[in-house]
């Protein structure tokens, strides 16, 4: 069935860059997915038209190693046009060593981190270089100067953010405008049915400044993947944080799974499809551990077209939306 689904594409924010409506997340590559299987997943992504891959220098979770980037780099090095067909996004901010200036967004770390990512990824340019978090101690003038140098050198084509609040986006874009620099082209945020807070300010700010929005954790760490139907004790095993989140929304999750049953859809697929209906949303990030999981997610592309107003209203009734601020909490 996956082979019959035609991938859709959308421009990334106000750029001319076309990216697939599903973004392949690679955070599992290394810790949970062996390299041979990761390569198979990436080949499968290309076969199904997914051209947008997301990673980060810290993925692999062994400080300084960049294990996930290395796995991707060896896949690129195997040839076959793999690099050329990929819109590659990676990130800078997380710690890559114990010394000062090996994390965050100083000009020094941006330069060093970029060189490290290029080396591990076995490429000479990064399509989308994302700030993984806000650095409250580094002025945007310094950040933009460092990014301008990377663009002038041809090492970075576009710059994005992740985990920025709406006012951080505004501050970053105004600082870029003063330098006649393009600034951010997208924001990557936590966004799913359980966590819809970015609807208040982040999405409105992104739309106003022409940024695309990329949603990470679209299944809320597995909460929207059918947890009640997967075991007889009412849910799969989670770590303490995820378990606390499940406990806080258990009744909603149960009602959601009942709705999925009524619609005849898998909970995880419906959660992805719902995201694809959201205004301003460029792509959710899917993080499959297997090729089969990747292929299952493709159904969301066509399901998004079929979700009618009644189904969307039923979803909103379970997981209430946020309105743009200030109307969400004021008159």
CA neighbours within 13 Å on the CB side: how many for 209?
28
Report the relative pairing of strands 184-190 and 212-216 from DSSP bridges. Answer: parallel
CA angle, 30 then 32 then 34, to 5°: 55
Q: Which two tokens stand for residue 247?
A: 């406990």
Burial class (CB in 10 A: 0-12, 13-18, 19+), 239: exposed
Of the candidates 274, 93, 314, 129, which has an alpha carbon nearest to the alpha carbon of residue 191? Answer: 274
Q: For residues 274 and 264, give the distance between their C-alpha atoms in angstroms, rounded to a whole number.
A: 15
Could you give the residue numbers annotated as active site? 59
Distances (CA, A) of 216 to 81, 100, 149, 303: 27, 29, 29, 19
Give residue 285's region: left, alpha or beta (phi > 0; psi -120 to 50): beta
Token pair for 2: 């996956």
Q: Running DSSP on this structure, what letter comes out for residue 167?
A: H
Cβ–Cβ under 8 Å, residues 146 and 110? yes
How far is it, in rounded angstroms, from Cα 61 to Cα 58?
6
């Amino acid at each position: 069935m996956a082979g019959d689904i035609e991938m859709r594409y959308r421009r990334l924010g106000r750029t001319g860059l076309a990216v697939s409506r599903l973004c392949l997340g690679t955070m599992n590559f290394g810790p949970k997915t062996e390299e041979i299987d990761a390569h198979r997943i990436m080949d499968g992504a290309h076969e199904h038209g997914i051209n947008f891959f997301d990673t980060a220098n810290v993925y692999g979770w062994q400080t300084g190693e960049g294990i996930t980037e290395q796995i991707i780099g060896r896949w690129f090095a195997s040839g076959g046009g793999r690099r050329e067909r990929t819109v590659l996004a990676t990130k800078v901010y997380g710690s890559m060593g114990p010394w000062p200036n090996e994390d965050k967004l100083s000009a020094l770390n941006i330069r060093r981190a970029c060189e490290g990512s290029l080396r591990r990824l076995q490429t000479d340019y990064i399509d989308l270089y994302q700030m993984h978090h806000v650095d409250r101690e580094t002025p945007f003038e310094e950040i933009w100067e460092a990014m301008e140098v990377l663009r002038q050198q041809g090492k970075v084509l576009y710059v994005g953010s992740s985990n920025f609040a709406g006012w951080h986006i505004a501050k970053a874009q105004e600082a870029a405008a003063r330098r006649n620099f393009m600034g951010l082209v997208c924001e990557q945020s936590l966004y799913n049915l359980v966590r819809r807070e970015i609807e208040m300010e982040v999405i409105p700010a992104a739309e106003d400044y022409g940024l695309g929005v990329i949603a990470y954790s679209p299944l809320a760490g597995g909460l929207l993947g059918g947890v009640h139907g997967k075991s007889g004790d009412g849910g799969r095993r989670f770590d303490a944080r995820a378990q606390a989140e499940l406990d806080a929304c258990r009744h909603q999750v149960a009602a959601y799974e009942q709705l999925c049953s009524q619609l005849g859809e898998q909970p995880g697929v419906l959660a992805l499809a719902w995201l694809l209906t959201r205004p301003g949303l460029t792509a959710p990030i899917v993080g499959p551990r297997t090729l089969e999981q990747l292929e299952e997610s493709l159904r969301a592309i066509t399901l998004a077209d079929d979700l009618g107003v009644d189904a969307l209203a039923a979803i909103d009734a379970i997981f209430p939306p946020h309105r743009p601020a200030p109307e969400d909490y004021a008159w």
